[in-house]
Amino acid sequence: MTELLCVPFKQTLRLDLRKELSELIESITYQSSSFFEEDLTKISALRERVCDSEVSESKLLALKQYYAYLEGLREKFPDNQIQFTWFQTLSQKSCASAQYSIKFEMLNVLYNIGSMYSLLAMDSNDGSTNALKKLCIYFQKSAGCFQYIVQHLQETKEPVFDQNTGLALIELMLAQAQECFWFKAVRNSHKDSLISRLAQQTADYYEKAFLYSKKSELIRSDWTDHLSSKSMHFKAVAFYRNAISLGQNSEYGAMVKSLRIARSFAKKVSLQSKDEFIETIQDALKNAERDNDFIYLQPVPSSVPALKPAPMVKPLPIEDTLKDCNSGQDKLFLALLPLQVVEACTAYNERQDSYINEHIIRPLEALNKILTESLPKNELPPDLKPISMEELHQYDMALKDQESNNIRVKKLLEEVDMVLEKEAETNDYLSARFGNLNWDLPKSSTVNLTYTEKLRALKDYLKQGQTIDYETRSLFQSIDSRLVTFEIKIPESNNPIVSEVSNILKKREKYCRKVESESSEHRILPKIISEYRSTGETNFEGVFREHLKYLEADRKFVQEQKLVNKSLLEKLRAQGDQTEIRRLEPFELYIEDLRHSMQLLNEVKINLEEGADFYQKLIKSASKLLLEVQNFEASRRDQQRALETNLCSDK
């Protein structure tokens, strides 16, 4: 067996993986990187090893081990933190692709595993029977690696290679594996009919590889020519062996036709063995024509029955190829909390803060607001103090930030709209081009319904946010800035009920600060770590519910304060009924105006707090929808291309 092709390694930029992972551990987990010194050294040294160009079984094992380590990394770290750079080597020009993605690194390493199998097959090609078996297995394993990459092309920002390149490599590896079967059958003198079928299947694999290579963005023209020649060569072989088989069955006329077909294919070959094989066919055809003309006198048919191929190979799944490195006995960073556990801690911390705000802080603030609004008109609420111009400016900037966030969300949703419109326009164009009967992909309006409904809902939310932003801006502009920033000494009230209200307000403010301080110290992380270490489970909802029980006393305090509010309001109402009607003094008018402006400012502050949370969630939802729609459009584009190719080839 000669004239086989092997896939060259992709090259990569070296990087200090030890340093990158150390910084990542320090920044996103609650553990020290020094605790993982041995693991960091091991994976860093292994990446250095897989960067060289050595072709050996030990290098293959290193590639597999590194791939297994990367699988473990994806469970522990975010996928978008470390940048990996790889260079294409199939094309004449080497182009680089850099991505912050562990998955991108994994697929490129798997590419080199597939490449290594093809290179090792070439090194093992000594012509022996054992070598043939090894070659056949290696080529099938290589095909399995490339097949896995093709199936996962959409999982990285830029694919490892274009789809046609991947499919060409799969068919090439299968063709060469099938060629091993054919060669073994020839060597063992199997029946010519079987050798013909094996050769026909080999030709089919090479032909598919050739067709994909023509559409490939990477495969060189000399490879494409080679694949075409190999396909023609094995078609010639298939018809030559078929002719011999026909002769053995006394079908001499069909034998002549089969040899003529073999000769026509052989003349299209550009391999080194071309001339010798053509001579063999010519000799056989000359003898067959002479014998048929003078002895058998059978008519030469215009065609012979199509040769039935005999596939003997298939891509071997990478699970079997990599199983020697997936035993779990040599996993790294076992003591490091998985990313999902760290993310769960963060999510539960946010839920804890939201729970405290919803059930303790805001209810107490609402109770305070009711009290201050119920004070006599000539009394300035004790917690009502002028603010600085800097603080007022900060509220103005916060309003502008929310207005900017509104614009940002609007742009995200416009981009979602554009992606959906582009996909629909493309599908409508292709449907009109090929006709509704041929273009059997579902209509865009049907398959994108989920996304359009989400888009409509987000647009409604955005409109609501815009309305609230406008109202908040109007409120802010109606505030007397001079009044709320002008400091004036106001004597404390001698009204005993007002003094009582003042003390209650201060007590609640102090209590809110205490609850927030305790919350920052009383986090769920230790309980989640303990639960994960003891059970291995990653559903911590029960742990969270149990954790929140420490706030039961605080919720009880809120209920008690509702009763206190009720009592104080009754006292204030009774006092108000006894107050005689009189003309307000200028100072009292000032207090009333200040109270009004400060109440407006409080409404602005509440709107800003709620708006910040609103836009954070809205931006997250809009970004998520955009990603979903982009993935949907990419998937539809692949389906459209595949169907378009099929319809064009049918013509």
Contact call for residues 45 and 352 (beta carbons, < 8 A): no
* Edge-to-edge strand ranges of the sheet holding 96-100: 11-12, 83-87, 96-100
pLDDT tier, 115 (very low <50, low <70, confident <90, very high otherwise): very high
For the residues 173-183, what does the mean pLDDT come to? Answer: 96
Query: What's the pTM value of the predicted model, to 2 decimals?
Result: 0.61
* CB proximity list for 215: less than 8 A, separation 6 or greater: 164
**28-32, 190-194, 506-510, 581-585: which range is least confident on average?**
581-585
Mean pLDDT throughout 102-106?
96
Q: Which of 139-153, 207-221, 403-417, 599-613 has the lowest mean pLDDT?
A: 599-613
Mean pLDDT, the chain, as a whole number?
A: 89
pLDDT category at 595 given cuts 50, 70, 90 is confident
Give the domains, in start order, of the chain with CATH numbers.
Answer: 11-325 (1.25.40.280), 339-650 (no CATH)
Nearest to 10 by CA among 104, 79, 81: 104
Residue 512: pLDDT above 70?
Answer: yes
Encoded tokens for 521: 């110290």
CA angle 392, 393, 394 (to 5 degrees): 90
Please, are residues 50 and 109 in contact by the beta-carbon 8 Å criterion? yes
Helix 389-434 / helix 449-478 crossing angle, nearest 10 deg: 160
Using alpha carbons, list the distances in angstroms from residue 401 to 395, 476, 601, 613. 10, 14, 17, 12
By C-alpha distance, which of 415, 630, 388, 382 is closest to 509? 382
What HEC string does 560-584 produce? HHHHHHHHHHHHHHHHHHHCCCCCC
Single-letter amino acid, residue 234: F
Residue 363 CB partners (closer than 8 Å, separation 6+) = 558
Contact 483, 594 (CB under 8 A): yes
Q: Render pLDDT for 250-293 as a digit per residue (tens, 0 to 9).
A: 999 999 999 999 999 999 999 888 889 999 999 999 999 999 99
Rounded to whole angstroms, the Cα distance separating 121 from 173 reads 10
Parallel/antiparallel/unpaired status of strands 96-100 and 11-12: unpaired
Quickly state the pLDDT bin for 484 (edges 50, 70, 90): confident
Segment 119-129, tens digit of pLDDT: 999 998 887 88
CA 451 and chain centroid, separation: 18
Cα separation of 608 and 598, whole Å?
15
pLDDT at 582: 46
How far, in whole angstroms, is CA 355 from its chain's centroid?
31
- What are the structure tokens assigned to 188, written together? 């063992």
Of the listed ranges 67-81, 196-210, 536-550, 587-601, the least confidently predicted one is 587-601
- In 40-189, where do the E strands start and end? 83-87, 96-100
Closest by CA position to 24, among listed 36, 12, 8, 14: 36
CA pair distance 296, 298, nearest whole angstrom: 6
- Cα–Cα distance for residue pair 595/127, rounded to 1 Å: 98
Task: List, for residues 396-452, the tens digit of each pLDDT value.
Answer: 899 999 999 999 999 999 999 999 999 999 999 988 888 888 888 888 888 888 899
d(CA 152, CA 23): 29
